Amino acid sequence: MLQLGTKVVIVADQFEQNLPVGDYGFIIAYDRNQDNVFDYVLRVPSANRNFLVPDEDVELEEVLIQDEVNRIEREALIDFALATNNEALFKRIMNGDSPEAEQESAPKETMSPADFIRQVNLKAWI
């Protein structure tokens, strides 16, 4: 639940109320009626109106800015990988893998055949 006075951006209009999608507004009240689908009363200064909106129709401005930063960073890395012909970087970006995931999936030390047989015998004994 968002705090009162929080600056939010309208990202959807799922109940087709003619909300000004893309504009910002401020949460001025909660709608506590359990029989109602709306969660917030939103004041939109550009429309000079108050709107009842569900939680899914609004998003914090900081979250939208962070999503845009991540998108721009990804596009810049793709451009860099293409400009430098770095195929490994390009594949990692396009597959969505992170560098940490590659380190975790690195093969572990291989066991000698004697160690392998010892492990199998130990598990068979238990």
Domains along the chain with CATH numbers: 7-61 (2.30.30.40)
31 or 70, higher pLDDT: 70
pLDDT at 72: 95
pLDDT at 26: 95
The strand order across the sheet containing 49-53 reads 49-53, 40-44, 24-30, 7-10, 58-60
Exposure of 99 in the CB half-sphere (CA atoms within 13 A): 1
pLDDT at 62: 92
pLDDT band of 97, cuts 50, 70, 90 = confident
